[in-house]
Amino acid sequence: MTDRSARVVEVLGYIGANVRRLRLSRGFTQEQLAEASELDLRFLQRVERGQTNVGVAVVVALADALGVPPAKLFRKATLPEAKPGRPRKTARSQGGSNRSS
């Protein structure tokens, strides 16, 4: 891998990590962010994993949907370790409440 290729992979990781962090901090699911940014869900999933190249239009669409300037997506950040399988459902995601009556 050339120095330039390694740098591209590094920056794509920053973008993915920042998109994921901002999405979660705003309480969006991947589906909601994909819809708000008018991107395909699978494409968004690859972006969050730093596994696909993105153009300016995608960066702007994601930044607008997340309510941040596009430059914020380029800040140095670390991708979390990928966990195999689907996330476990919580009481909240199943429509239940975690408060007792």
Is residue 91, in this structure, part of any structural domain at all?
no
The H-or-E segment that residue 4 falls in is helix 3-25
Range of the domain at 13: 3-74
Is residue 81, in this structure, part of any structural domain at all?
no
Residues 11, 16: Cα–Cα separation, whole Å: 9
**pTM as predicted:** 0.80
Is residue 54, in this structure, part of any structural domain at all?
yes
Tally of structural domains, the chain = 1
Q: Residue 4 class from Cβ within 10 Å (0-12 exposed, 13-18 middle, 19+ buried)? A: exposed
In the 8-state DSSP scheme, what is residue 2? Answer: -
Q: What are the tens digits of pLDDT across the range 22-68?
A: 999 999 999 999 999 999 999 999 999 999 999 999 999 999 999 99
Is residue 36, in this structure, part of any structural domain at all?
yes
